[in-house]
Structure 1
Amino acid sequence: MSEVSYYSVEGLKKLKDELSHLEHTERPRVSQEIGDAIDKGDLSENAEYHAAKEEQSLLETKIAKLKNVVASARIIDESQLDTSKILIHSIVKLKNTTNGMEFTYTLVADSETDIKNGKLSVNSPIGKGLLGKSLGDITEIKVPNGVMKFEVMNISR
């Protein structure tokens, strides 16, 4: 079993929906492609067959990994979380102390990450640097292009 990951109800539903789609839509489609390729005859020189088998292998690997993630997933009861510190599922308003720009992010599990919608992984450099910080804290976070300084302006759920 893999490491426990924490999800919102919405995030876990998204994972389960993806798993269901892979198992009930993609798996039968790939099996049909293999069957169609077999019907064409000689398998030793049948590129369609080999491509479909490769796709099947990748699909089964993805399904197995997703099953592991779903099995080890736990839903967070956000009403029980401490809002004085930044934790997973915190909505955090930050101010870049260098240029004064303000950002708002929600810290989420890796599979819920969606930067365009302000959902930042707790395992990203910024996410790791923010965990445990409190309102008013200034933190220096090492990012790929240097060090950024942020002030925590607000924490909510």
Structure 2
Amino acid sequence: MEAIGLFYGSDTGTTEDIVEKIKNTFSKEIEVHNIANSSKEDLEKYEKLILASPTWGSGDLQADWEDFENNLSKIDFSNKTIALVGLGDQESYSDTFCNSLSHLYEYVKKGKVVGKTSAEGYYFEDSDSVIDGEFVGLAIDDVNQDELTNERIEAWVKQIEGSF
């Protein structure tokens, strides 16, 4: 069975914690990589990927992902299955909630992107990561809705596991 490559960036440790929860919820093998220590070749060796980033500042990718962005533009995602995870704070950054998802989505959208989730139950003004009422991946607000995090992860993993 082919492993899933899960790549994340994390400054405060929250995304790293979420990634561990996702890994422990999956029944399939997941190999976890910090994007800060990863190469383009590391991502390319996987046919199945999960990419996770918190949203920083006014809707930006986490710094390690920003440093890696040049590599993302050189990867052919067309034959890959990709799921995205974004973290954000919908109260403090209500107009750019989980925009990290949209940044990653721009690079991977030629592949088979799975794991879109409903924007219902979130309270934010705007997000570039919502298309037709759905986030382009799993949106987590572990600041304001931490009581929903485990439930959201479990539902999302159940939704996408068959695609992997």
Query: For this structure pair, what is the TM-score category when the shorter chain's length is used for normalisation?
Result: under 0.3
The TM-score normalised by the length of structure 1 is 0.27
Q: Which has the higher helix share?
A: 1
Structure number with greater Rg is 1
